[in-house]
Structure 1
Amino acid sequence: MEQKEYVLMNKYEIGRMLGQGTFAKVHYARNLQTGATVAIKIIDKERVLRASGMMEQIKREISVMKMIRHPNVVELYEVLATKTKIYFVMEYVKGGELFDKVAKGKLNEDDARKYFRQLISAVDYCHSRGVSHRDLKPENLLLDEDGNLKVSDFGLSALAESKRQDGLLHTTCGTPAYVAPEVIMKKGYDGSKADIWSCGVILYVLLAGYLPFHDSNIMELYRKIAKGEFKKFPSWVTSEVRKLLSKILDPNPNTRIPIAKIMKNSWFRKGFHHSKQLAPPETEENEEPRQAEEVPSKLCNLNAFDIISYSSGFDLSGLFEEKEKKKDVRFTANTPASTIISKLEDVAKRLKLKLKKKDGGLLKLEGGKEGRKGVLGIEAEIFEITPCFHLVEMKKSSGDTMEYHRVVKKEIRPSLKDIVWTWQGEQQQLQQPQEKPQEEEMKPPASSMLPEIPPRSLTEGEQSVV
């Protein structure tokens, strides 16, 4: 009997059931605050706890879906929980599964190319985040109301840290007809290369209307997959896409075509005019970054209120933003502003970033190559505390967040070590005990009430304020 509608946590009105699995049900729902429609995956905690490894799988799925933000991937909005249930609040994709479309028969070449393009774009993005899906198949590819593909079900996905010391994955998983040869051979495999194989099987199914590898005997099916013995191409499949599929369904993962080359393939790109989205334009290697035209004018001064607001004890961003997603970092430097600027100029030149100086101590660094989310842009703003002591705030202004964090961590921070007094938050993390009594958690220690700055004499006005 269908469950009646009910309201979850005074926020979501739960409606009809859209689908059901062993451990979860998916329901249509409506956000009472915004009126937006969502899909809510309701997981039974008791069943999950009884099944070996399921809780770890759910945690991994949450971690992965929080990392992935792509127009061709189903978005996870939030996760809620009660004593008995876990709720995944997700994007509602109303067009159904791609499988339902294929079940009615093969697709024409243009439609197949469109879906394959969107699939490759989503998978490439996942791989750039260190995520392998490991269960790509038409049943896990949804279509929105505009006919755009959305990758779903990351329950079997693997993160980069899942690899063993040999740099490979060793868990055999996936759907037999779509799984790569190296996965079933149980010798360790590269999750990204295995995903490419699955994409090839999907493309074959879209074009032919049936599976390239099929046998009622599972061992015979595995033998065919291991040797790459797929069915002959139907007559309507053009020679151009046959060549591409033969390179994707290569049983040797070391010679299998990578995604970068798939994206450059003439069949893949046919009729696609927005080439920048698929292959970022290359810039000349010897191109020098443009030098700044002018020196920034007078810097912004920080008063006592500003200093307190920048301190970790009053930093409330953690309530609204996860630490790993924060796009700003701060450091203090006991050097003149000219030294900081000179150092940032050196960093920009070495990294081939364009540097522009604006008024008020604001510097803008911009990359020369377009990444997955556009050109990387970083802003660095210098605030004067005393003439020889400054606070510098750096944040991403454009581009890819993962690339920004990588550049800051591996390139900018090491380059600035000669001038940095301390990076904000590091002293507190070192001083903070591992466990604190519950009553102390709401009260920050006195040392964290101010940023890590060298002692100095405050002005009379500042003393009265503090």
Structure 2
Amino acid sequence: MHSQSSESSVVLQGPRSCQKAVLRDQYEVLRDIGFGRFGKIKLASHRLTGVEVAIKVLQKKGQNLLVLSEPEMMRSLEHPYVIQLLQVAETHRNIYMVMEHAGGGRLLDHVPQGGMQEEEARRLFRQVVSAVSYCHHKGIMHRDLKPENIMVDARSHARLIDFGFSARFTPGQNLHQFWGTLSHFAPEIILRKAYEGPPVDIWSLGVILHFMLTGRYPFGGNTSKEVLSQITLATYSNPPYVSLAARMLIHQMLTLDPQKRPTAKQILQHPWMTHGKQDLPHDYSEPIPIRPDPEILTTMFDMGYDLRKTWVSLAKRKFNAAMATYLLLQHQKSQGAGCIFQEKPVPPRVKPRPHPVDLSHSLVLPKRSPSEPALSTFPLPCEPQLPEGARQAGQKHIRSASEPALHLHLQPAGASTPDVGPQPDSGQLNAHRRLLRWVDRRIATCVRELCCCTSRVSNKLAPM
């Protein structure tokens, strides 16, 4: 335990570094779990929820300029099979990316010698292609797809990670940067030809599927020259136990002409991919979140968070401490786990309430009846206005009247009030304390009424 605290202090604590102090207060670093060309990955525990997270530390050096765009890329990605970015903090030396931790290990370690069974390979490969299709739809190419950059989470779902080499692209635009891993290089990368983004990822997907089904890479050799020669000629072989449909799909992806390779969406429609039609991924484009979950907001209120600031953090996608806590609680709720926060508070100068909160026993919200109008035409109880800053953030999915404008800076329990004039007697003081407790209860009731009302509003909003 002592060594863990020591490591946390060394990594995240420093003079005149407010961001480091925030990270130190929010997370306890446990150990190193990964090393890359551009930084380290550390396992940490979120102090309030106890959820384990991964913290990627990127050093601001000249040779790292490319990968320093990774936080920007991940800010725009929200998909079930892409690892979730939770928080970003920056100092004059480093960038810290707090992300979900997929505890199941790398896909590389799940492929046995001789390859996986086709049913299991199909299930995981569907999820990987779904994530890649989503990224391409968002105008982002990964450029370093390989089994080492695909994690498996606790539910045995694939999670795409490491967007350090990713880049934005425009359809029809050619790129000229040549990055990636040798065994997964597309021929156009080796030949130093200008290339479009998505076909390069599709080639890498072909290499991944071949590896998943056979346990070895399609292009190998004793020297790098031999590997490059095989790639430029697309020379590889499939074992006879691989089904014909799978071999045909691999052949389509490992086509020399980039224009003849299928898109990620077309791969999802291939007969081998749709076989069984179980666990088929759906197109996913939902941002985080259109309207915050009132149960989670209630939990965060009990933790001591300012709900207005939390709401604005989500609307403007600030990826700060409040947003990270919300996303972690959301993850816990989706897993069916109760959300119990620890003793150490995160929000500065706000003391959390002393009792843990379990979302499984939270307030039961009323459901909208079929006859109820989709959008109320009358003011909701305690209904405030969205702050001017959030209205200017371009969040077209956020209704301006749905965000609480209450500043919930509650006085910590047991704190004394400032003296004004003569000191009241004990009876007056007790009455004053009862009044403060009544005000606190009224504020909490108002917040819960607001959450109940907003939950009854349809997600299909009328135009403003």
Letter matched to residue 261 of structure 1: Q
Question: What is the aligned counterpart of 1:31 among 40, 46, 57?
Answer: 46
1:26 CA drift (Å): 1.2
Q: Is the Cα contact below 8 Å between 2:38 and 2:67 reproduced in 1?
A: no
- Structure number with higher strand proportion: 1
Letter matched to residue 157 of structure 1: S
Q: Deviations over 1:432-463 (max 9, x none)?
A: xxxxxxxxxxxxxxxxxxxxxxxxxxxxxxxx
Secondary structure at the counterpart of residue 9 of structure 1: helix
Residues 325 and 10 (structure 1 numbering): CA distance in 2 closer, same or farther, change over 3 Å? same
Q: Is the Cα contact below 8 Å between 2:8 and 2:24 reproduced in 1?
A: no
Q: How is 1:38-187 mapped onto 2 (pairs within 5 angstroms)? A: 38-44=53-59, 48-49=60-61, 51-52=62-63, 54-58=64-68, 60-102=69-111, 104-160=113-169, 167-187=173-193
Residues 33 and 94 (structure 1 numbering): CA distance in 2 closer, same or farther, change over 3 Å? same
> Within the alignment, does 1:214 sit opposite 2:220 as a pair?
yes
Counterparts of 1:278 and 1:76 in 2: how far apart (Å)? 20
Residues 32 and 242 (structure 1 numbering): CA distance in 2 closer, same or farther, change over 3 Å? same
Q: Deviations over 1:378-405 (max 9, x none)?
A: 522xxxxxxxxxxx62xxxxxxxxxxxx
Secondary structure at the counterpart of residue 73 of structure 1: coil
Residues 296 and 80 (structure 1 numbering): CA distance in 2 closer, same or farther, change over 3 Å? closer
1:17 CA drift (Å): 1.1
Question: What is the aligned counterpart of 2:247 among 242, 264, 287?
Answer: 242
Residues 274 and 218 (structure 1 numbering): CA distance in 2 closer, same or farther, change over 3 Å? closer
1:197 CA drift (Å): 0.9
Counterparts of 2:389 and 2:123 in 1: how far apart (Å)? 44
1:67 CA drift (Å): 0.8
Counterparts of 1:255 and 1:145 in 2: how far apart (Å)? 37
Stretches of structure 2 that go unaligned for 5 or more consecutive residues are 10-22, 286-372, 401-456
Residues 81 and 215 (structure 1 numbering): CA distance in 2 closer, same or farther, change over 3 Å? same
1:207 CA drift (Å): 0.6
Letter matched to residue 169 of structure 1: L
Counterparts of 2:284 and 2:88 in 1: how far apart (Å)? 35
Counterparts of 2:49 and 2:377 in 1: how far apart (Å)? 42
| Alignment-derived partner of residue 263 in structure 2 | 258
Counterparts of 1:296 and 1:124 in 2: how far apart (Å)? 33
Secondary structure at the counterpart of residue 97 of structure 2: strand
Number of equivalenced pairs? 308
1:78 CA drift (Å): 0.7
The TM-score normalised by the length of structure 1 is 0.59
Q: Is the Cα contact below 8 Å between 2:183 and 2:219 reproduced in 1?
A: yes
Q: Is the Cα contact below 8 Å between 1:264 and 1:279 reproduced in 2?
A: no
1:217 CA drift (Å): 3.1
1:20 CA drift (Å): 1.7
Counterparts of 1:5 and 1:148 in 2: how far apart (Å)? 31
RMSD: 3.5
1:188 CA drift (Å): 1.2
Counterparts of 2:157 and 2:260 in 1: how far apart (Å)? 31
Secondary structure at the counterpart of residue 77 of structure 1: strand
| Alignment-derived partner of residue 223 in structure 1 | 229
Q: How is 1:277-288 mapped onto 2 (pairs within 5 angstroms)? A: 277=282
| Alignment-derived partner of residue 269 in structure 1 | 274
Question: What is the aligned counterpart of 2:388 among 291, 315, 326?
Answer: 315
The alignment-based identity, stated in percent, is 33
Q: Deviations over 1:74-123 (max 9, x none)?
A: 11101112343321101011111111222654111111111111110000
Q: Is the Cα contact below 8 Å between 1:136 and 1:178 reproduced in 2?
A: yes
Residues 326 and 298 (structure 1 numbering): CA distance in 2 closer, same or farther, change over 3 Å? closer
Q: How is 1:302-341 mapped onto 2 (pairs within 5 angstroms)? A: 309=385, 314-317=387-390, 323=393, 325=395, 327-328=397-398
Letter matched to residue 6 of structure 1: S
1:243 CA drift (Å): 1.3
Residues 144 and 56 (structure 1 numbering): CA distance in 2 closer, same or farther, change over 3 Å? same
Q: Deviations over 1:22-71 (max 9, x none)?
A: 33111111111222211111233xxx32x33x23421x211111111111
Q: Is the Cα contact below 8 Å between 1:263 and 1:278 reproduced in 2?
A: no
Question: What is the aligned counterpart of 1:6 among 5, 8, 11?
Answer: 8
1:148 CA drift (Å): 1.0
1:249 CA drift (Å): 1.0
The TM-score normalised by the length of structure 2 is 0.59
Residues 315 and 324 (structure 1 numbering): CA distance in 2 closer, same or farther, change over 3 Å? closer
1:296 CA drift (Å): 11
| Alignment-derived partner of residue 353 in structure 2 | none
Secondary structure at the counterpart of residue 323 of structure 1: coil
1:218 CA drift (Å): 2.4
Counterparts of 2:218 and 2:377 in 1: how far apart (Å)? 66
Letter matched to residue 35 of structure 2: Q
Q: Is the Cα contact below 8 Å between 1:73 and 1:122 reproduced in 2?
A: yes
Q: Deviations over 1:358-392 (max 9, x none)?
A: xxxxx99xxxxxxxxxxxx7522xxxxxxxxxxx6
Letter matched to residue 131 of structure 1: I
Secondary structure at the counterpart of residue 156 of structure 1: coil
Relative contact order higher in (CA < 8 Å, ≥ 6 apart): 2
Letter matched to residue 58 of structure 2: I
Counterparts of 1:275 and 1:24 in 2: how far apart (Å)? 35
Q: Is the Cα contact below 8 Å between 1:131 and 1:157 reproduced in 2?
A: yes
| Alignment-derived partner of residue 403 in structure 2 | none
Q: Is the Cα contact below 8 Å between 1:98 and 1:143 reproduced in 2?
A: yes
Residues 145 and 119 (structure 1 numbering): CA distance in 2 closer, same or farther, change over 3 Å? same
Residues 33 and 265 (structure 1 numbering): CA distance in 2 closer, same or farther, change over 3 Å? same
Question: What is the aligned counterpart of 2:204 among 198, 202, 206?
Answer: 198
Question: What is the aligned counterpart of 1:16 among 28, 31, 39?
Answer: 31
Q: Deviations over 1:251-309 (max 9, x none)?
A: 111111222322221211112246582699xxxxxxxxxxxxxx9999669xxxx9x95
Stretches of structure 1 that go unaligned for 5 or more consecutive residues are 281-294, 331-362, 365-376, 381-391, 394-466
